[in-house]
């Protein structure tokens, strides 16, 4: 994992004065532009680093003002600011928020597929002549050589990657289009890179730094704790009792305000929304199977206080910012602790008390295993790689995904999964038009298939380990907040007092980290699973994140008795 570094303080008096001037300008700009009397944790450290010209990864909690970092920095740097943002709806909101700050911001514009060719060119021209200071674009735009060339000529002062966890295959919202961003940064002459995310466990941080090709980055990690959110888990033995409990709990919580109910399936969202409506609540379902206009209307109604609850799959998530959301209930466990933390973080962003409830039965984790299970056969991967190679040999600029579907007879989802794996293996390149071409220096189809299969198996092992960590959260008798924070490598010395286990008296004080045989962040080695890092302790167990197999929970007694772990610094 990358070291947690902060901007280096130079001993020279001149450098010290320069740093002092930068700090004063940062604070003045934040006060004049945003009305800030002070900064939230991590904001100022990230600003000092990026204004000094240093690549920076800022992991700031949901609602902690990540956009303020690139907004203030953008006004203190000389040149346009590019903000790579994964969703058009999110870009629209970001543009609107900046425009509301007034003309001192300068020109703000999106660059995405909803614009005509003429309007897209006007944005690029604006970057070149200085009339566009902030440009929000999807990563697909950066697959176009003419777009990259125009941006390079404009001399960008800052390259921002919002929702940076999307670049990581370890992350909970991985997007292959983000993989090209590191190369784009180099094509642009490596302007300072600011990567922003709300949830990034140590392996995600390491991969963000690697994938974006960041140089000696400052890694600013603000506290993950959201103490205003009460954490609870309700255990139920059978499906009927659990279903009724979800409805009862959501009905009761709507008396405190609006909220979100997450369900793992589209069918589940529809059924829960109908049942809640029958109880007299204003409830609507939201999932990727709805028409775009329907999804937008549900989101609009939620933001306008026209709904008591949105019943949604994880499709309702990124970019949703309703600070007064009072509760988040999960009818099934999330696919990882990363996802769960991101989803419950949509509650209580106004700092007022909120509650996150997981209504759980053990069998529900089988559904998550089903979603995570299955690596494609090597023969399938070789067939897809061979067809892409054959297309190039026939003189085609690229093979359309629709043509690949007809040729292979395979459904879109597994086919796109195969192409994504082949892209990660360096065998193919996907563009925003839905075509696949051989990557420069691509291995032969057989070698590419083997490498892609190994990647898939690795992802599967990691996914399964993350599901087990979700089980650990659901079934722990210790402080749930200590469990959550420990997952992200942050220790909470005392039980939080604001979770169901603390209220029940089952949470116990843990031995101080430095008194543990293997303190948190210790680099260790296991004979079978290889290198790893100690993430947390709970009672008589230790959780280790291994490079190859993901998270493993080990009995500390067995570890010590059988010497299962050794410190990597040991001789």
pLDDT band for 169, please (50, 70, 90 cuts).
low
pLDDT band for 8, please (50, 70, 90 cuts).
very low
Residues of each domain in the chain carrying CATH 3.40.50.300: 13-221, 229-370
Q: What is the CATH number of domain 229-370?
A: 3.40.50.300
CB 398 within 8 A of CB 434: no
pLDDT at 127: 94
pLDDT at 320: 73
**Which is nearest to 290 in space by CA: 261, 306, 274, 312?**
312
**133-159 per-position pLDDT tens digit:** 999 998 888 888 899 999 999 999 999
Classified as helix, coil or strand, 547 is: coil
DSSP element (H, E) containing 554: strand 550-555
pLDDT over 80 (residue 14):
no
pLDDT over 90 (residue 501):
yes
Between 366 and 241, name the one with better pLDDT. Answer: 241
CB 65 within 8 A of CB 43: yes
Question: If you average pLDDT over each of 3-7, 177-181, 239-243, 251-255, which comes out highest?
Answer: 251-255
Please state, in angstroms and as integers, the Cα–Cα distance from residue 205 to each residue in 168, 195, 468, following that order.
8, 10, 21
**Which is nearest to 231 in space by CA: 325, 363, 330?**
330
Read off the pLDDT of each residue in 427-438 and give the average, rounded to a whole number: 77
| 135 φ, ψ (degrees, to nearest 5) | -125, 125
Token pair listed for 198: 């709300």
Average pLDDT, the chain: 85
Number of Cβ within a 10 Å radius of residue 468: 16
Alpha helices in 354-444 (DSSP H): 364-372, 378-393, 401-408, 412-424
Residues of each domain in the chain carrying CATH 2.30.30: 510-571
Residues of each domain in the chain carrying CATH 1.10.10.10: 378-457
Lowest-confidence range among 9-18, 156-165, 398-407?
A: 9-18
In angstroms, rounded to a whole number, what is the distance separating the alpha carbons of residues 163 and 387?
33
pLDDT band for 7, please (50, 70, 90 cuts).
very low
pLDDT over 90 (residue 84):
yes
In angstroms, rounded to a whole number, what is the distance separating the alpha carbons of residues 455 and 28?
48
pLDDT at 296: 87
SS3 sequence of 428-497: EEECCCCEEEECCCCCCHHHHHHHHHHHHHHHHHHHHHHHHHHHHHHHCCCCHHHHHHHHCCCCCCCCCC
DSSP for 302-344, written as a single string: HHTT--SEEEE-TTS-TT---TT--EEEESS--SSHHHHHHHH
SS3 sequence of 106-139: CCEEEECCCCCHHHHHHHHHHHHHCCCCEEEECH
Which sign, positive or negative, has the C-alpha torsion 333, 238, 479, 497? Answer: positive
Please state, in angstroms and as integers, the Cα–Cα distance from residue 193 to each residue in 44, 196, 205, 274, 497, following that order.
16, 10, 14, 46, 39
Phi-psi region of 546 (alpha: psi -120 to 50; beta: other; left: phi over 0): beta
Which sign, positive or negative, has the C-alpha torsion 524, 208, 88, 348? Answer: positive
pLDDT at 568: 77
Read off the pLDDT of each residue in 343-371 and give the average, rounded to a whole number: 83
pLDDT band for 6, please (50, 70, 90 cuts).
very low
pLDDT at 105: 86
Architecture field, domain 378-457: Orthogonal Bundle (1.10)
**Location of structure tokens 């610094």:** 569
The pairing of beta strand 259-262 with beta strand 134-137: unpaired
Long-range Cβ contacts of 394-398 (<8 Å, 24+ apart): 397/435, 397/437, 398/431, 398/433, 398/435, 398/436, 398/437
Roughly what angle, to the nearest 10 degrees, separates helices 66-76 and 88-99?
60
Classified as helix, coil or strand, 246 is: helix
pLDDT at 86: 79
Please state, in angstroms and as integers, the Cα–Cα distance from residue 67 to each residue in 31, 194, 329, following that order.
15, 11, 27
Token pair listed for 302: 């939620």
Which CATH class for the 13-221 domain?
Answer: alpha beta
Token pair listed for 370: 């089903």
510-571, CATH topology level: SH3 type barrels. (2.30.30)
pLDDT at 509: 65
**Which is nearest to 83 in space by CA: 144, 163, 154, 168?**
163
Please state, in angstroms and as integers, the Cα–Cα distance from residue 214 to each residue in 184, 394, 545, following that order.
12, 38, 23
Q: pTM, whole model, 2 decimals? A: 0.74
Q: What Rg, from alpha-carbon coordinates, does the chain have?
A: 24
| 283 φ, ψ (degrees, to nearest 5) | -130, 140
């Amino acid at each position: 994992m990358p070291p947690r570094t902060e901007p280096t303080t130079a001993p020279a008096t001149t450098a010290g004065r320069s740093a002092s001037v930068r700090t004063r300008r940062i604070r003045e700009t934040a006060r004049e532009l945003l009305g800030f009397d002070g900064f939230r944790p991590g904001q100022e450290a990230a600003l000092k680093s990026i204004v000094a010209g240093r690549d920076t990864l800022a992991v700031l909690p949901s609602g902690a003002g990540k956009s303020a970092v690139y907004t203030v920095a953008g006004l203190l740097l000389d040149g346009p600011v590019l903000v790579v943002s994964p969703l058009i709806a999110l870009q629209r909101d970001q543009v609107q928020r900046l425009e509301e700050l007034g003309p001192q911001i300068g020109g703000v514009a999106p660059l995405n597929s909803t614009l005509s060719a003429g309007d897209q060119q006007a944005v690029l021209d604006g970057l070149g002549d200085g009339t566009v200071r902030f440009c929000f674009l999807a990563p697909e735009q950066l697959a176009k050589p003419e777009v990259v060339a125009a941006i390079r000529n404009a001399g960008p002062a800052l390259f921002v990657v919002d929702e940076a966890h999307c670049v990581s295959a370890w992350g909970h919202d991985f997007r292959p289009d983000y993989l090209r961003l590191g190369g784009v940064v180099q094509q642009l002459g490596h302007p300072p890179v600011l990567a922003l995310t709300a949830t990034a466990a140590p392996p995600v941080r390491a991969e963000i730094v690697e994938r974006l090709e960041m140089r000696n980055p400052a890694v600013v990690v603000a506290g993950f704790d959201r103490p205003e959110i009460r954490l609870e888990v309700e255990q139920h033995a059978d499906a009927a009792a659990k279903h009724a409990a979800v409805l009862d709990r959501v009905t009761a919580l709507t008396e405190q305000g609006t909220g979100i109910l997450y369900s793992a399936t589209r069918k589940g969202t529809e059924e829960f929304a109908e049942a809640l409506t029958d109880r007299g609540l204003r409830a609507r379902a939201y999932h990727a199977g709805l028409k775009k206009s329907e999804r937008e209307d549900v989101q609009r109604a939620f933001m306008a206080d026209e709904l008591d609850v949105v019943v949604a799959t994880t499709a309702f998530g990124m970019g949703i910012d309703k600070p007064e959301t009072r509760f988040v209930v999960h009818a099934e466990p999330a696919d990882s602790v990363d996802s769960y933390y991101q989803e419950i973080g949509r509650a209580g962003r106004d700092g007022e008390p909120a509650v996150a409830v997981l209504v759980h039965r053990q069998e529900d984790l089988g559904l998550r295993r089903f979603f995570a299970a299955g690596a494609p056969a090597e023969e399938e991967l070789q067939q897809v790689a061979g067809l892409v190679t054959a297309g190039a040999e026939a003189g085609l600029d690229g093979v359309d995904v629709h043509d690949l579907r007809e040729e292979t007879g395979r459904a879109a989802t597994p086919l796109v999964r195969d192409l994504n794996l082949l892209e990660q293996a360096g065998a193919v390149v996907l563009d925003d038009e839905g075509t696949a071409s051989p990557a420069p220096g691509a291995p032969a189809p057989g070698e590419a298939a083997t490498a892609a299969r190994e990647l898939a198996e690795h992802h599967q092992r990691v996914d399964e380990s993350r599901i087990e960590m979700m089980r650990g959260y659901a079934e722990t008798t210790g402080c749930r907040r200590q469990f959550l924070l420990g997952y992200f490598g942050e220790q909470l010395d005392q039980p939080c007092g604001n979770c169901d286990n603390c209220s029940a008296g089952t949470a116990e004080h843990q031995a101080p980290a430095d008194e543990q045989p293997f303190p948190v962040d210790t680099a260790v080695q296991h004979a079978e699973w290889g290198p790893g890092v100690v993430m947390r302790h709970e009672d008589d167990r230790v959780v280790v994140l291994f490079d190859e197999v993901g998270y493993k929970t080990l009995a500390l007694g067995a570890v010590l008795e059988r010497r299962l772990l050794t410190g990597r610094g040991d001789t």
